[in-house]
Structure 1
Amino acid sequence: MRVLIAEDDALLREGLSLLLAGEGCEVCAAVDNADDFLAAVAEHGPDVAVVDVRLPPDFRDEGLRAALEARRRVPALPVLVLSSYVEDRYAADLLADGRGGVGYLLKHRVGDLDHFMTELRRVAAGGTAMDPEVVAQLLVRRRADDPLRDLTEREREVLALMARGEANAEIAARLRVSDGAVNKHIRNVFAKLGLAPGDSGHRRVLAVLAYLGNRPDPG
């Protein structure tokens, strides 16, 4: 797996490079700003990019905007964004194109190498990976006009795990239910959110967007 890193902190950038190399990955480039990141995407064609949300010069959302621009230029490019804090709007921005292959993790997750590599490989394979702390905060930030108000408690649990990027089998194991039960709950979620099979985009991603409070108009 060829990985491109965009991280302004030299120690973390070098640490990520060493960790990834130790896991058999090829770090095709490691840069510290958005412009060099976009140039490296074009030059190296990585399998996945790991990008800090905040990059020079203003350290606000330059990394996120560069990641979105990279996915505009290379639609299939998987991107895992790292942040020091829970900023759930970034998760919604990443998912807004409905294509998958995106992730949003807090930086301290890098210290759990097994977890980090699992999430990175999930994103590289076209899946989604949302940080559990983002998901937990979303649970207490629902609006009065919550589009998920018709879901049962179990359906909300299943959707929360979907938002974290868990596959059906992983959800079944975590909730200690059968694969068939998980499939039924997911079908119910899709139906209650109006995500018919003919909807454009990936229904699983659209459901997670609804969970994040930023679902696009399917029409």
Structure 2
Amino acid sequence: MKKTTIYIDGYNLYYSRLKGTPYKWLDIVALFRDRILFPQDPTAEVVCIKYFTAPVKASYAQHGEASNHAQTQYLRALESKYGGLVQVIKGFHIFEPTRLPTHQPGVDPNKSSVSPVWMIEEKQTDVNIALHAYRDAVRGDADQVVICSNDSDMEPAMRMIREDVPGVAIGLVMPLRDTSSMAGKVPNKRLTKQAHWVRHHIRDDELALSQLPQNVPTKKKPACKPVHW
């Protein structure tokens, strides 16, 4: 059996594939292990699924405090249903005032016209994924790493794993819609070049069949699917 760890960029998965769909209450084990990985590699033994995210900022979220509550319920559901198989690794958001070029149709950005804006960034997610994947590979904790992302920041880590630990296989799952409806989002060629195998999209039927129960038992109160999800 091939020891395999799956690394999921939660931000990338949400904004590239789940936003605007009814599939946010996603069972990541059922999707990535059972419906994507096993058909690709029946010899894979998933030893861990690492889900990388950052706490929602209620003041900025569309649904305010309800968005923060929804994320908390979701993470509780995943950890309670799967115990140590699923690990949640958290980064954080920063909000800083800055000045950026003002958008003017048909005009290239320039410093002569700038506007004050808030810069909003999710921090540590990319570096956490890269370091976890590289460390697991060099330590021998994984014979295969499977990364769910379409972010070019993953390319150096994937390249270094190939160079430093050539016996470790690299799988890549793009959190994109089917090619017929990707709305301008395309697979990142920097990443596909480094992977041994690539899944270029995630289908709606796979998401629909990979949903958590409406209420997931926990040691305390059940984790319940948010109403607005």
Which TM-score bucket, shorter chain as reference? Answer: 0.3 to 0.5
Asked which structure has the greater CA Rg, the reply is 2
Which structure carries more strand by proportion? 2
Which structure carries more helix by proportion? 1
More relative contact order, 1 or 2 (CA 8 Å, 6+ apart) = 2
Q: TM-score, normalization: structure 2? A: 0.34
